[in-house]
Amino acid sequence: MAKSIDVRFGTFGEKRSVGVYAHDWWFLVASDVRLEGEPVISSSFADYMRAHVRSVPPALSEALANLRDAAWLRGAIPIALQCEYPASTSVQHHLVDLGLLAVMATRAGDVVYPFLCQEHAGCAQLAFSGAGPDARTRDSIASAFWSRFFWGQPTNRADA
């Protein structure tokens, strides 16, 4: 029997990457991600850094000091997410503008949450549907997603 796929709080077109794993979640880059309702900004890259990363790489430290972490993040995306940065992204408008899927794999099936990673005023942040998921799930996805950029770096996460 095939596993079911339950896409919640949005839609997407095609998967554009292989899945990468972090802290109970699989992440994939996807095309045409649309969120239900008004987007909710859940987490910024800088907030994650301040809360979880003990040793900031020098290049990122400079970017954070200049409120330009999105540029550093854009350069790290191909490694952290094992993908090519989508050619359709307009660098003139956004350093980061990426549709993503967070997938929780269970025995019964996969639960998929579309979300966005976007640049706002030089800072990277995640946006989720205003219809859901709940704050605890958004925080879990955000923390796992941002941690992909710090494999091998000392963190404050108990489960890192």
3-state DSSP call for residue 85?
coil
- In which band, very low, low, confident or very high, does the pLDDT at 67 lie, cut at 50, 70 and 90? low
pLDDT digits (tens, 9 = 90+) for 69-121: 787 788 888 888 888 766 544 444 445 789 999 999 998 899 999 999 998 88
Query: CA nearest 52: which of 159, 155, 158, 160?
Result: 155
Instruction: Give 130's contacts (C-beta < 8 A, 6+ positions apart).
Output: 35, 36, 37, 38, 39, 40
DSSP codes, 140-160:
HHHHHHHHGGGTTS-BS-TT-
Does residue 25 or residue 1 have the better pLDDT?
25
- Structure letter (DSSP) for residue 53: B
Mean pLDDT of 114-143: 93
Element containing residue 46 per DSSP (H, E): helix 45-52
Per-residue pLDDT at 56: 67
Does residue 45 or residue 35 have the better pLDDT?
35
Domains in the chain: boundaries: 8-150
C-alpha dist (Å) from residue 149 to 34, 60, 108, 110, 140: 24, 11, 30, 24, 15
Query: CA nearest 80: which of 137, 128, 144, 158?
Result: 144
Instruction: Report the distance separating Cα 40 and Cα 49, nearest Å.
Output: 20
Instruction: Report the distance separating Cα 64 and Cα 149, nearest Å.
Output: 15
> Tokens for 87?
């050619």
Per-residue pLDDT at 155: 47
